[in-house]
């Protein structure tokens, strides 16, 4: 792959509406908000840039999120940095909760210090709701049989 092809691929990935790509610096402010992020979360790029990630983090999960975020920024270490997929609730602009899965990509400066973190996110709300409905059906069938 040529450098030009690599750059074109990077741009295509960042501007795709399929998955969200969100970047924030050490301060937790959003510095990149892809078209996929706009589609999934409902905030335009102009509404999201410079704001805290709190716009997409449900209130009950914020303390845990920021504790982990601050630890990763300070140490450069994350148990999720090797491609593990995380599944969490998130917020849409209209206030409804959605379910997302994501991976993180730590960004470091030339000396290896953390400068920020990117996440690639996918909306899995429909699949999560289907699984929840199936679990309810199984529980009801077991209760009826028992």
Residue 99, helix vs strand vs coil: strand
Other Cβ atoms closer than 10 A to 107: 14
**Residue range 105-135, pLDDT digits in tens:** 899 999 999 999 999 999 999 776 777 767 7
Alpha-carbon distance values, 47 to 15, 39, 136 (Å): 17, 13, 38
Distance of CA 18 to the CA centre of its chain: 13
- What pTM does this model have? 0.84
Strand 86-91: give its sheet, edge to edge.
30-33, 20-25, 114-123, 97-108, 86-91
Other Cβ atoms closer than 10 A to 118: 18
Percent of the chain having pLDDT more than 90? 67
CATH number of 3-145: 3.30.450.20
Backbone angles phi, psi at 118, to 5 degrees: -110, 155
> Domains of the chain: which residue ranges?
3-145
Alpha-carbon torsion angle 70, 115, 113, 76, nearest 10: 40
- The reported pLDDT for the residue numbered 81 is 61
């Amino acid at each position: 792959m040529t450098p030009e092809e690599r750059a074109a691929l990077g741009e295509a990935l960042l501007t795709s509406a399929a998955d969200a790509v969100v970047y924030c610096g050490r301060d937790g402010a959003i510095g990149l908000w892809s078209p996929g992020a706009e589609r999934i979360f409902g905030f335009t790029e102009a509404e999201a840039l410079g704001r805290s990630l709190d716009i997409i983090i449900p209130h009950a999960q914020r303390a845990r999120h920021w504790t982990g975020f601050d630890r990763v920024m300070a140490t450069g270490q994350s148990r999720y940095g090797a491609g593990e997929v995380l599944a969490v609730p998130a917020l849409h602009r209209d206030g409804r909760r959605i379910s997302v899965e994501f991976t993180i990509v730590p960004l470091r400066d030339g000396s290896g210090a953390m400068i920020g973190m990117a996440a690639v996110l996918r909306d899995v709300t429909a699949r999560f709701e289907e699984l929840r409905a199936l679990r309810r059906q199984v529980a009801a069938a077991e209760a009826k049989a028992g």
